[in-house]
Amino acid sequence: MSYAVDGWGTGELVFADDLLVWHELPSARRSPPVVHPLAERVRAYFRGERDDFADVELDLEWCTPFQRAAVRAMRTIPYGERATYGEVAALAGYPSAQRALGSVCASNRFGLFVPCHRVVAAGGLGSYGSLGLGYKRRLLELEGVVL
C-alpha cells in the first residue's frame, strides 16, 4: 500500500498478513495514498515526531544469522544518533564485518524500520543506495543529527 508524505513524496508498505515484508521510503513518484495505522506513524515521523518503530514486526525469514544480528543492532541505534559501520558490526557480534554490514544496509528493504540512514562511515556519511546521500543527510537532519 502506498502512503504520501508532504515534502517527501510517496512510499510503500507491503505486508503479509500483519507482518511487514517491505518498506520503500517516500520519493517523488506518484501513487494514491492509503490509510493504515503504520502509514500514519510514518507520516508523523516525517513531520518530525520521534518514533523508533521498535514494535513493528519484520519478516526476517530470508536473513542469514549475520543479517539478523545486523538488523537487530541497527534497530538499537536511537533516533537522532548515528553509529559507524564498525560500531554496528561490533554491536552485532561481528567486529570485523563492517563491509558486510554495509552490504546489509545496501539491501535493506525496511527503510525507517531498520534505520541504516543512522549508520555512517568513520570518515563521513558513507553511502545510501539509490536514494543518495542527499536523502540520507535529509533524514539525519530531520532527526536533529548535526552533520
Residues known to be catalytic: 116
* Overall size of the chain counted in residues: 147
CA angle 136, 34, 40 (to 5 degrees): 55
User: What CA–CA distances, in Å, run from 13 to 25, 97, 127?
Assistant: 9, 30, 23
Q: At what angle do helices 98-106 and 65-74 cross, to 10 degrees?
A: 80
Instruction: Give dist(CA 126, CA 23) in Å, integer.
Output: 21
Q: Say which DSSP state 12 is in.
A: E
